[in-house]
Amino acid sequence: MGKYGRILAVIFVVSVVAGGLEGAAATNAQSAIRNPQSLVRDYNVQPVPFNQVQVRDGFWTPRLETNRTVTIPYCFEKCEETDRISNFEKAAGLKQGKHEGIYFNDSDVYKVMEGAAYSLQVHPDTMMRLYLNKLIAIMAGAQWDDGYLYTFYSVPHKQPEMRWTNVKDRHEQYCIGHMLEAAVAHYQVTGNKAFLNIATKCANYLCQTFGPGRRTDPPGHQEIEIGLCKLYRATGEGKYLDLAKFLLDQRGRTGNRGPKGDGKLYGEYAQDHIPVIEQTQAVGHSVRAMYMYTGMADVAALTGNMEYIKAIDAIWTDVVGTKLYVTGGIGASGGNEGFSGRYELPNLTAYCETCASFANIFWNQRMFLMHGDAKYIDILERTLYNAALSGISMQGDRFFYPNPLESTGGNERSPWFGCACCPSNVARFIPSVPGYAYARKGDDLYVNLFLGGEAEIRTISNKVTLKQQTEYPWQGDVKITVEPEKSGTFAIHVRIPGWARREPMPSDLYKFANDMAQPPSAVNSESVSLKVNGQPITPDIEKGFARIERQWQKGDTIELSLPMPARRIVARAEVKADRGRVALQRGPIVFCFEGLDNDGNVARLVIPDNTEIKAEHRPDLLNGVTVLTGKAQVAKRTTEGGIVAAGTRSFTAIPYYAWAHRDRTAMTVWAARELQAARPEPAQ
């Protein structure tokens, strides 16, 4: 146990002590499968790990299955083809040759391994398990005697003099962080310690190398902090948590030195411009930023550090209020793979890296676990169904790296990338999705996401099975059957999504502009209803959750009805790119217009505020999607350069995540709402 395990620090949320003392605890869906140690402190709210959630869902089951049968094997194969794995074989002395590919390529192998471990938890696959064993054996051979493991400095021969000579750019700790995450997952799923032993040996070496009185320079790319927190949870070794906090605290401080370090700051790009506890705005490379905020949340939960929480609360407000796309994507700029200024949210050049979306979900889940507020799940859900899912093809073997909100028609998902962070993140992210659905706190339960299936949840004094039946995200009816092992009084917090409460976002960055032209039926039904055992109830809404506290019996039911009218979204005026424009949303799904469905030209479409928008489910289209249709004006440029309406045509909008699956075609999320915002072709 390190010092954080022993100190009773400031209680930062009401029941942290009770929450922490209740036993084994975990950060997110992926951990907490088996915890060998009861930690003294962790998140107040505990997730229900994905492996305790059985998914039987029209939307998610096919995606989980595709990830298992296509994406994971495919990514391993690509890691083989691109020599990512042969770098380890060379480092292990199995073959000769130079290092191939980018210096941080080790990380991709670890990430796919992490995904494979999750997949094994819910679906045994002997060949996948044995393949992991072989990779681990090779990695054991590639590890140096002192614990160091990084192929770039190991091939064609060990170069000890090169280690840590460029922690700003060479990503040694980034790779090791992913190794720690993968090793913890592998151990928790299989009970086999082979990978965990490699990880602890490497982490021990890190602890000897970095820390007070040793090397003090922080890594250029955050990630090790998350890995160290997971390793701390898995082993109970406090020094790993100590090192995670140390490396965070070193950011933004001049004078850090390694053998060749110059003590200069790395700057905003790497969130190293000021100390982390002084940061209030999201800046720089968005994946680094998100991994840092996630790591800060973990360290805060595990230590009770209020300064961290204050900082990431402020940053969250900044992101959600000024830097978040309507799809949940973040990172407007390709130049720095990261954040631009406030309200700078261009659509055609939107970067919205797939990894950043996943990282945004990691972070928001932790923010929820810390604060118990549904607003974080609102962001998580928006990102999940839109910006994140867009990154992976329905077939499971094509990937987007950036996910722009507008295209002139050249976009196509790629089989792989030289920098393959996104595909490997897909492999590990998808199987973890069921882990975001539920949470618990003491004896109380949270229903965060709506997906069919059931979860078995052990609370302090009971074991409760929750069964969901739903056609979400296409229909808003959710039936939850409650089956406590023994009857008891506890609260079930059912999330009432922000979009159902007419708040697209827990900020004023976007708003629904919806009451303009809904069909009467939609307007009339547009109120959330809840029933328990068939009887309407009107529970208090606390932090975005309907809190239903009663004595629960086996077979009790909760029926949630979330009306799903098609809704218009408009951005606040400061977002120049969206001025005069409208986006469509229904339930959690944000829509887009593809040229294929709209006469080849989406830039000239104008969706007037008074146009009726209809929803129609098309089971045969794009594996089954609900589309939105209506009448648009067609803008035309006059010979004088003005824009006029040249008639009307039907429009069809499809879910944004499903774009670019049929052809290379123009696409936009934001359509013109006014003639002057349209961009028709020049007059002939």
Report the nearest approach of a copy of itself to the CB of residue 407 (Å): 31
Q: Segment 61-100, which members bind a copy of itself (CB under 8 A)? A: 73-74, 76-77, 80, 86, 89, 92-95
Report the nearest approach of a copy of itself to the CB of residue 198 (Å): 11
Sign of the CA dihedral with 202 first, then 206, 207, and 209 last = positive
Tell whether residue 131 is a contact of a copy of itself (CB under 8 A). Answer: yes
User: Which window, 132-140, 275-283, 495-503, 569-577, contacts a copy of itself (CB under 8 A)?
Assistant: 132-140
| 99 close to 156: Cβ distance less than 8 angstroms | yes
Determine the residue type at 384: L
Single residue of 138, 185, 496, 500 touching a copy of itself by CB under 8 A: 138
Report the nearest approach of a copy of itself to the CB of residue 92 (Å): 6
Please give the full DSSP string across 560-604, using - where no structure is assigned. EE----EEEEEE-TT-GGGTTEEEEEETTEEEEEEGGGTTT-STT
User: Which window, 136-144, 161-169, 245-253, 420-428, contacts a copy of itself (CB under 8 A)?
Assistant: 136-144
User: Which window, 134-142, 225-233, 341-349, 503-511, contacts a copy of itself (CB under 8 A)?
Assistant: 134-142
Tell whether residue 538 is a contact of a copy of itself (CB under 8 A). Answer: no
Report the nearest approach of a copy of itself to the CB of residue 77 (Å): 6
Report the nearest approach of a copy of itself to the CB of residue 399 (Å): 17
Residue placing its CB nearer to a copy of itself in the complex, 75 or 564: 75
Torsion of CA 628, 631, 637, 643, to 10 degrees: -100
Here's the x/- map for a copy of itself, 98-127, by CB under 8 A: it reads as ---------------------------xxx
Residue placing its CB nearer to a copy of itself in the complex, 125 or 477: 125
Task: Tell me the C-alpha distance between 361 and 562, whole Å.
Answer: 23
Tokens of 299: 């360290």
Residue placing its CB nearer to a copy of itself in the complex, 77 or 307: 77
Single residue of 13, 26, 48, 128 touching a copy of itself by CB under 8 A: 128
537 phi/psi in degrees, rounded to 5 = -130, 160
Place of tokens 């406590």: 484
Tell whether residue 133 is a contact of a copy of itself (CB under 8 A). Answer: yes
Residue placing its CB nearer to a copy of itself in the complex, 126 or 535: 126
Question: Which residue in 238, 252, 248 sits closest to 203, CA to CA?
Answer: 238
Residue placing its CB nearer to a copy of itself in the complex, 304 or 431: 431
Q: How many CA atoms lie within 13 A of 616 on its CB side?
A: 11
Place of tokens 């906090």: 245
Single residue of 130, 348, 516, 683 touching a copy of itself by CB under 8 A: 130
Report the nearest approach of a copy of itself to the CB of residue 102 (Å): 21
- CA distances to 73, 175, 226, 248, 417 from 298, rounded to whole Å, are 31, 19, 7, 11, 30
| 675 close to 643: Cβ distance less than 8 angstroms | yes
| 225 close to 288: Cβ distance less than 8 angstroms | no
Report the nearest approach of a copy of itself to the CB of residue 400 (Å): 22
Residue placing its CB nearer to a copy of itself in the complex, 326 or 427: 427
Report the nearest approach of a copy of itself to the CB of residue 61 (Å): 21
Tell whether residue 286 is a contact of a copy of itself (CB under 8 A). Answer: no
Find residue 399's DSSP bridge partners: 392, 414
Q: How many positions of this chain bind a copy of itself (CB under 8 A)?
A: 24
Place of tokens 């933004």: 252
Tell whether residue 140 is a contact of a copy of itself (CB under 8 A). Answer: yes
Sign of the CA dihedral with 654 first, then 659, 663, and 664 last = positive
Report the nearest approach of a copy of itself to the CB of residue 134 (Å): 4
Tokens of 341: 């200024």
Single residue of 134, 486, 554, 618 touching a copy of itself by CB under 8 A: 134
Q: Which residues contact 220 (CB under 8 A, 6 or more apart)?
A: 167, 168, 169, 170, 171, 174, 266, 270, 272, 288
Binding site for a copy of itself (CB under 8 A): 73-74, 76-77, 80, 86, 89, 92-95, 125-128, 130-131, 133-135, 137-138, 140-141
